Amino acid sequence: RGYQHGSNHAFGPSTNHPNLANLDSPYVDGISITRGSPRQHVWTYAARLTESDGEFCPCANNPNVRTAVPDFVGDDYYCESGFVNSPSDGRYKLRPISWNDPLW
């Protein structure tokens, strides 16, 4: 199982990854499954901020999506959040781990 903590931006830019569209760079907040040498993409599990705030996750059906899935990922991904809403104080890093709602 995968559990969420903090502020995750799926395929969007963050301090962890500036959204470099390259399989060998950190392109997602989540898990990337690859195989072979050179590496080939198999599947990506992307973690987004909340169920209601999905601006960096195309599968959130949000008209305000501000990012795209990298071409090498294609349709081989799943995007999820362990939190339904944003914290009222906006302090994502102080949230507990989403034990009650696993990502995967």
Nearest alpha carbon to residue 23 among 78, 79, 74, 72: 72
Mean pLDDT of 96-100: 76
Given a cut of 80, whether residue 72 has pLDDT beyond it is yes
Query: Torsion angle of alpha carbons 34, 37, 39, 45, nearest 10°?
Result: 10
75 touches 101 (CB < 8 A):
no
What's the pTM value of the predicted model, to 2 decimals?
Answer: 0.76
Query: What are the structure tokens assigned to 58, written together?
Result: 């195309």
